[in-house]
Amino acid sequence: MIYSSELIKGTLKTIVLKLLADNKRMYGYEITQKVKQLTMDKIQITEGALYPTLHALEADGLVITEAEYIGKRVRKYYSLSKTGKTKTAEKVSELADFMNTMKFLLDIQNQPV
Amino acid sequence: MIYSSELIKGTLKTIVLKLLADNKRMYGYEITQKVKQLTMDKIQITEGALYPTLHALEADGLVITEAEYIGKRVRKYYSLSKTGKTKTAEKVSELADFMNTMKFLLDIQNQPV
DNA sequence: TCAGATACATAATATTCTTATGTATTATTG
DNA sequence: CAATAATACATAAGAATATTATGTATCTGA
């Protein structure tokens, strides 16, 4: 089962930021694979969604990039800036709060998953 | 505190459906107020978001409507169709699953709210 | 009486995703 | 060893869905 795409909306940025907080330094393709692996294929980030998001994070000064060559192929590593670290904590905390609210709102107690 | 609007994206339809499942019959304005009240003002659904959503649910055959006059003012009541009830159960269950996944992904254990 | 709440609706715009396409390198496998 | 899949980036067109603004009209309370 893959979640309907609308659920990802609004959480992608937070997911990416949190992964960078945990892994110091990651490149785009690695992020898609990591999310896929951690969620047992339930969340699959498309490249068309990820790269624009990464570029936006960079434009906002939340991440910094380093290009690196693996053989002849370029890799673009992303890591959190100081501002990015602060922002990540805020967004994760907000999402946690939001999920508690939603849990209450949807009256979700012990639904089997 | 009001959640950043992006968090609402993708969950609005599910919220509306669940409220209708719990309350049998509601009108638009009532839904906005109910959500505001249940979430202690943290989620405020704008009319520009709600009405198009309700119309889409109707077009999809998930809800049925009845107009009613309160004095001279019209009210449009929404209730779940049979298909709507099934769909609601599916969407709520999917969202519950998604939130568990997100909880794991974001490593959220006992963050104070 | 008049401001605020109730109650609907829609249009222009912005955001952000999907889908499709493009380029190129490296690894695998029949 | 050639073809395919995986790795790795990127962007553009289009769809979906929200924000913001606007419009209309009624009812309530100070």
Using a CB-CB distance cutoff of 8 angstroms, which residues of chain B are in contact with residue A111? 92-93, 96
> What is the DSSP secondary-structure string of chain B?
----GGGTTTTHHHHHHHHHHHHS-EEHHHHHHHHHHHTTTS----HHHHHHHHHHHHHTTSEEEEEEEETTEEEEEEEE-HHHHHHHHHHHHHHHHHHHHHHHHTT-SS---
In percent, how much of chain B has pLDDT > 90? Answer: 80
> What are the pLDDT digits (tens) for B9-64?
889 999 999 999 999 999 999 999 999 999 999 999 999 999 999 999 999 999 99
Q: Say if the Cβ atoms of B99 and A105 lie within 8 Å.
A: no
Q: Is the CB of B95 under 7 A from strand D?
A: no
Q: How many CB pairs under 8 A join A and B?
A: 108
Strand D nucleotides where any atom sits below 7 Å of a protein CB? 7-13, 16-23, 25-28
The pTM is what? 0.91
* pLDDT recorded at residue B5: 83
CB contact under 8 A, B113 and A96: yes
